[in-house]
Amino acid sequence: MAGQRVVAAVAVALGVCLLQLPAASRGQLQVGFYNTSCPNAETLVRQAVTNAFANDSGIAAGLIRLHFHDCFVRNEFEDETLHVDVILLKVHGCDASVLLTSPNNTAERDAAPNNPSLRGFQVIDAAKAAVEQSCARTVSCADIVAFAARDSVNLTGGVSYQVPSGRRDGNVSVAQDALDNLPQPTFTAAQLVASFANKSLSAEEMVVLSGAHTVGRSFCSSFLARIWNNTTPIVDTGLSPGYAALLRALCPSNASATATTAIDVSTPATLDNNYYKLLPLNLGLFFSDNQLRVNATLGASASSFAANETLWKEKFVAAMVKMGSIEVLTGSQGEVRLNCSVVNNRSSSSAAGMATPYHYYSGSTVPVVDEAASS
């Protein structure tokens, strides 16, 4: 019964959220975008996510984070030396640019905030392969990432919601853009609020989305400075001494680059409001987590979510939908990638009816024409 109340409340909140989206987003992204062109698209993505989750429940947190890291990165590209009749898209958010690989390892996924911690790429590839087999050149990688995040929220939190779709895939991915745009675990309250405001997300929505830290794991390097000063044990402000001791046992000062620990020490595999309950106990893992406690305005929001899980889940799915509309490409913009990790070549784009025949790999300042396209 409680679960039904949560789902009902989420549906209402989602409807409100859709009404509050900018007019352009409401008109260009729509629930059921593939109902005619690929009616089983969302089912195929859900199957891929469910299969991966059965083998590794931690993949759900990775897919939620993958969507966040895709949407939050704004890519800018301009080269006035190019003499081609083509519009270069200068800014975009949820465009699957995080999935692109680079021949010289300078794509978003190669940046420190993403490498080696970002995961879920293989799940997106599996979902894309299934969708391509059913409906070739129809469903964007950006939409698959958004669907996969929604399905991960459902698997870990028992809440489902509708995802407006119709995103198109971008063709630029630069590591520096990830460094410039993604909020860091060392951010202060002011930096966190400013980072989210830059994406048209409110301070409360920042607190809401921070609740995703209730699932998943973190590399020790993200918080090592809170428990060690070189080889000297320390207890950072906002950390319980007992928690700091536990973290030092899990993450020694010489911890390997791949050492990890759960972010939520109590219910690390469940998307719930426990994250907010841990903050006043000085059990927030990151410096940025503690900022939600010590800042009066942010703390008030965190306290309300600690007291009411249904309220937090309502706001969380609404914020996920809003985040998923950040600077999207739609219509004839961008492309529908045939392989999520590489841009289409000219012949593929032409065959698929894409408007833009030139594409750019990370670090490139000239159009790249694949051999297959020029032969």
Residue 75 lies in a domain: yes
Q: Which residue has the higher pLDDT, 369 or 220?
A: 220
**Do the annotations mark residue 70 as ligand-binding?**
yes
Residue 4 confidence (pLDDT) above 80: no
Q: Considering just the CA atoms, what is the radius of gyration of the chain in Å? A: 21
**Beta carbons of 208 and 273 less than 8 angstroms apart:** no
- Alpha-carbon 165 to chain mean position: 15
Residue 31 lies in a domain: no
The pLDDT score that the predictor gives to residue 76 is 60
- The answer to which of 137-146, 261-270, 343-352 has the lowest mean pLDDT is 343-352
**Predicted confidence band at 252 (pLDDT cuts at 50, 70, 90)?**
very high
The pLDDT score that the predictor gives to residue 132 is 97
Q: Which residue has the tokens 């609020």?
A: 193
**Do the annotations mark residue 108 as ligand-binding?**
yes
pLDDT, tens digit, 9 for 90 and up, residues 80-136: 433 333 444 446 799 999 999 998 999 999 999 999 999 999 999 999 999 999 999
- Pull the structure tokens for residue 27: 């008109």
**Predicted confidence band at 369 (pLDDT cuts at 50, 70, 90)?**
very low
**Do the annotations mark residue 106 as ligand-binding?**
no
d(CA 12, CA 28): 21
Residues of the chain with pLDDT > 70: what percent? 80
**Residue range 316-342: average pLDDT?**
96
DSSP class of residue 51 equals: H
Q: Which residue has the higher pLDDT, 62 or 24?
A: 62
The pLDDT score that the predictor gives to residue 347 is 53
The pLDDT score that the predictor gives to residue 103 is 87
pTM of the model: 0.85
Q: Which residue has the higher pLDDT, 198 or 92?
A: 198
Q: Which domain holds residue 47?
A: 40-216+263-324
* Furthest-apart CA atoms within the chain: distance in Å: 65
Residue 64 lies in a domain: yes
The pLDDT score that the predictor gives to residue 91 is 60
Residue in 341, 375, 339, 344 with CA at minimum distance from that of residue 359: 344
pLDDT, tens digit, 9 for 90 and up, residues 297-308: 999 999 999 999
**Do the annotations mark residue 272 as ligand-binding?**
yes
Residue 345 lies in a domain: no
Mean pLDDT, the chain, rounded, equals 85
How many domains does the chain divide into? 1
Residue 26 lies in a domain: no
Residue 372 confidence (pLDDT) above 70: no
Residue 226 lies in a domain: no
Can you give the CATH number for the domain in which 204 is found? Answer: 1.10.420.10
69 is an active site residue? yes
The pLDDT score that the predictor gives to residue 74 is 82
- Pull the structure tokens for residue 275: 């994250």
**Beta carbons of 116 and 74 less than 8 angstroms apart:** no
Residue 4 lies in a domain: no
- Choosing from 67, 69, 92, 359, the catalytic residue is 69
pLDDT, tens digit, 9 for 90 and up, residues 227-248: 999 999 999 999 999 999 999 9
**Do the annotations mark residue 330 as ligand-binding?**
no
**Do the annotations mark residue 97 as ligand-binding?**
yes
DSSP-assigned states of every residue in 225-275: GGTEETTEE---TTB-HHHHHHHHHHS-TT--TT-EEESSSS-TTS-STHH
Residue 61 lies in a domain: yes
